[in-house]
Amino acid sequence: MRSKPPSKSAPAADSAATAAPSDRWNPDGGVQFLSVPAELAGQRIDNFLQARLKGVPRSRVYRILRKGEVRVNKGRVKAEYKLQAGDVVRVPPVRSPAQAPAPVVGDQLRKLVEESILYDERGLLVVNKPAGLAVHGGSGVRLGLIEVLRQMFPQSPFIELVHRLDRDTSGAIMVARKRAVLLHVQAELRAGRVGKSYLALAAGKWPRGHRVVEAPLRKNTLKSGERMVSVNPEGKPSETRFRVLERFRGATLMAAEPVTGRTHQIRVHAQFIGCPLAGDPKYAPDEVNREFRARGLKRLFLHSQRVSCTLPDGDQVEVEAPLPAELQAVLQALRDG
């Protein structure tokens, strides 16, 4: 059952601190009062707090909720309470584990991402992600695309990934700047109504007749900590549609449309057919990658060429990301023989 929203009124003075409502939590201050912008309406209070209390264990977040240290419009709420626009959230001072300061985005990376923005309207952002840039920090990566965007748009209270791309993959990726857009497009993704099309260069001659690959995929973690994916009968159902665009000597340019969205799906399905993607450090043999390096390929040849979806108002959006110059050069070298 949904918690009853507390009545909205100005926060009373607090013995630890008094403050006008804002939308930013200051971890170095005392009690803070945060106003909820319209973009975050509908978010659960526990998730709202978790996003702001960086490094604080989730169990601690639930504890301060249970004890009533967190108040919404001066009233106690349960973890499942869904915030409304204009709510005022009282956040107590909470010590988080010592952390290194967040890395600052350099001018060069900021400019690169800024120039890669393809679409920014009605709460949806589409970026032509450069290869080599992770979508978010973690696992040894301190700075990803989402962190760069949040520093570029500090006035935006909500910036979240709609879906993901592998670090080595370039191309169109969708980012929501409104919670309603995030929830809507992700629901469309689950229903299979979001279009995603990739350009991929497969090593060897793609066998005729293999237009759809249906092979279950299972994640594996090696002793080194590296994450690999393999075709396994006990894995999750996975389907990719392939279409031959151009054939070269020793390679095939493919259009790939993932029906499901498993980790490394296109890469592993191509390997399963016997034509791993050129430049793939995980799933292509070293000798294959050496051959393509000699032809000028220095990265995985996989590019998210196009994304399409409907927005909450029903309008259709389709955005295409141009193929990077370094991949265009590889194709030209193959055409020249």
Say if CB 77 and CB 70 are below 8 A apart: yes
Kindly write down the DSSP assignment for every residue of 214-259, as one continuous string: E--EEEEE-TTS-EEEEE-TTSB--EEEEEEEEEETTEEEEEEEES
- In the chain, the DSSP E strands lie at 32-35, 71-72, 88-91, 117-121, 124-129, 160-161, 170-176, 195-203, 212-214, 217-221, 227-231, 239-248, 251-258, 302-310, 316-320
Which residue in this structure is represented by tokens 């995603």?
196
| Residue positions annotated with a catalytic role | 166
Q: Hey, what amino acid is at 16?
A: A
Tell me the CA distances in angstroms from 320 to 119, 124, 174, 191, 195, one per residue in order. Answer: 10, 14, 12, 22, 11
Say if CB 270 and CB 253 are below 8 A apart: no
